[in-house]
Each structure stands twice: as C-alpha cells, then as structure tokens.
Structure 1
Amino acid sequence: MMLVWVLVLTALLASDVAGMNNSLELEVIPHHVDEPDVAERMCDHKWVYYPPLKSCFRFFCDKRSWTNAEVFCNNRPHSAHLTSVSSSAHNIFLKKMITAASKKNPETWIGLNDILRESTFTWIDGSIYTYRHWPNGGPNNLGNEDCVIINDRYMGVWNDISCLKKAAFICSYRRIND
C-alpha cells in the first residue's frame, strides 16, 4: 500500500512541476497482481481513494466561501460534501493531499462548523464529531468565526474563521460499493 502512495505522490509532484492544473490526478498503476478488487475501489477521475474510510477525496484550489464550497461539492458526482475528519491519520492524509497539490500551503475548508449553534461543532455530512485537532486556545470564535479550515502552514491544525472568507477546499464521498 505504501508503494501506491509513493507512486501517487510522485505523479502529483511531476504534474505540478510540468505546470499542469493543481487538482489531484491519480495515475492508475497496478501494484498487486493478486488483488482483484483494486479496480472496484477506484474513485472517479482525479479523486483519491482512502482505504481506511472507503472514501474518495479531491482537493480544489479554487477559493470559495464555505457555503459555496459545500454547494460545489454537492454538485460533484455522488453528492459529495466538504470532508469530515475522523482521526489523526485521516488529518495527516488530508494535510499531505493539500501539500502535494499546492506549494502555497493554503488554508483549506473542511466540513466542520458551528453555524446552527455557537460552540456546538457539527460535520456537514452528518459524521459524529469526536476527533479534534485545534491549537491551544482554539476554537476561539474571534469575530463570529463559524467555519473551519485545516491550516497547512501550522502542521494541519484546525482554525475557525469567517464562513465568508474564501479558501481552497476538499470534497469527499463514501464509495457505495464498499
């Protein structure tokens, strides 16, 4: 499995250096002849499969408000959402995805918010909010900050910011067949 990620990241870096667009392109490279279900687990074009969650993810560098990013995700195949984050390993995967796709280390929307009730954070996709990756003192709600980004400049910690701010974003959807 590690070989697959090395090959994917190599393909991503090569496309970035060649000046191709900065959304993730997955190069399908067979890695296990004895694994017949590899093709069944693949995601749509330019989406990356994350086996522990049996889900597909895609980073978009277009800067949008949180609400516009969620609407954009909903209009993707499979009615995707801004991604939820379920564990430290998942957060690291997302941080690596952001770093591989953009050298600028952009602030990137995830689906966590407290829009409905202040200080009660929920995931837009309905996932249970158990894993947290806030910095000390966060979330701080300075100036009515209801939406959350992964801040790649600071080790992938989360930060609450205004939902109106424009940021890159990650959409995700769960594979139906899995």
Structure 2
Amino acid sequence: YFIIKVLVEFSGSLPDETPEDRSHLVKRDVSCSGHWTVYGSRCLLFVPRAMTWAKAEKNCLALGGNLASVHNWKEYQDIQSLIISQTQRPQKAWIGGSDAQQENIWLWSDGSQFLYTNWCRGEPNNRGVQNCLQINHTAMKCWDNLQCRYHLPSVCAKPR
C-alpha cells in the first residue's frame, strides 16, 4: 500500500516541465536502464562473464539486444570506451560478427549490413574454422576471427 500511495502522489508533473521533457525523461529511463550505457543512438552493455559466442548472443537477446555491430570508427571507439571504463584495459571480447553461415560472408547478428571492418593484418584467416569476431586482438585493438567455442566477455547493443 505504501509503495502504491507514494507512486500515485509523486507521479504528477514537475513544476515548469513541458510535455517534451516528460517524454524525453521516460525515453531515457526506459531505453538504457540498469547497467546499459548510452552511446549515440544505442545502448551498450559490457558483459564480463566469459561465454561462447552463441551463449553471449543468447544472453544479449535475453537482455533485449544483440551482440554489438559496428558500422563506423565512432561506434568502434564507443565500444572501446565502454570496455576500458569497465576493465581499465582493452579487453578481448565478442561482438556480433560471424561468417558461420557461409565462409567469408560476414554478417552481424542484429541483421544490419556488414560494411565497416577493422581486421588485424592477415585477418580474417579462418585458421581452424574461426567463424566468430573478437575485438582487441593485439596492441592494435583490431579484429580477429576466432573459434566460436572460446569463452570471452562480450558487448551487447540495443537501440535507444
């Protein structure tokens, strides 16, 4: 009863609040709540628990997103900033790229177009059936294809 009463009493508008302010506040609270962080038009989440690529994607789906896709240098820098803010270093992690469906045809798990890349020199090389994309492979913080069965932390993304 107390919680309901408090919610009812405090659910009114704030003084000098416009309808735009209310909708903006609601959008911000709903879209990137919890441990998600706003970066541009997306919410990003670093998941420190190491999992296979498939389990990491399933985890992101359960959280309302996908493993992160990258469409430009700025988005890649956003992901780097998130990881470093959580780990204090450029931690290797899964993002949403995979060519498991067809060799050398890289796709993002969220269905967006795979146009931007940041592959390390000589990658992707498919050495030992490497179908999943890890970031921060070397000091260059570039991309490497890796066997999907390896356990790594991951980065999830969802629209704001």
State the Cα distance separating 1:39 from its structure 2 match. 5.5
Is 2:87 the counterpart of 1:75?
no
Distance 1:39 1:152 in 2: 38
Shift in Å, 1:126 = 0.2
Equivalent position of 1:157 in the other structure:
142
What CA RMSD, in Å, does the superposition of the two structures yield over aligned residues?
A: 2.0
Q: Is the 8 A contact 1:106 1:153 kept in 2?
A: no
Q: Tell me the TM-score normalized by structure 1.
A: 0.72
- Are the equivalent residues in 1 in contact too, given 2:137–2:144 (CA < 8 A)? no
For the residue of structure 2 that corresponds to 1:157, the secondary structure is: coil
Matches within 5 A, 1:32-71: 36=21, 37=24, 40-42=27-29, 43-51=32-40, 54-71=41-58
Give the distance between the partners of 1:91 and 1:46, measured in 2 at CA.
Answer: 19
- Which structure 1 segments of 5+ residues have no match? 1-34
Amino acid paired to 2:95:
I
Which structure has more relative contact order (CA 8 Å, sep 6+)? It is: 2
Structure 1 segments of 4+ aligned residues over 4 angstroms from their partners: none
Instruction: Kindly indicate whether residue 71 of structure 2 is the aligned counterpart of residue 86 of structure 1.
Output: yes
The Cα offsets for residues 115-170 of structure 1, whole Å up to 9 and x where unpaired, read as 00011100010010110001221111111100001116524311100000000001
Per-residue deviation, 1:72: 0.8
Amino acid corresponding to residue 49 of structure 1 in structure 2: V
The answer to whether the 8 A contact 1:91-1:156 is kept is: no
Identity %, equivalent residues? 28
- Alignment partners' CA distance in 1, 2:58 and 2:76: 22
| 1:18-77: CA deviation from partner (whole Å, max 9, x where unpaired) | xxxxxxxxxxxxxxxxx94365335111101122xx21110011000000101111111x
In 1, distance between residues paired with 2:27 and 2:62? 23
Quick one: distance in 1 between partners of 2:42 and 2:80?
16
**CA 1:165–1:143 in 2, change beyond 3 Å: closer, same or farther?**
same
Which one has the largest radius of gyration? 2
Aligned length: 139
Task: Tell me how far apart the structure 1 counterparts of residues 36 and 112 of structure 2 sit (CA, whole Å).
Answer: 20
Q: Distance in 2 between matches of 1:85 and 1:98?
A: 14
Answer whether contact 1:105 1:153 (CA < 8 A) is retained: no
C-alpha distance in structure 2 between counterparts of 1:147 and 1:169, whole Å: 12
Which among 140, 156, 160 is matched to residue 171 of structure 1?
156
Deviation of residue 107 (structure 1)? 1.0
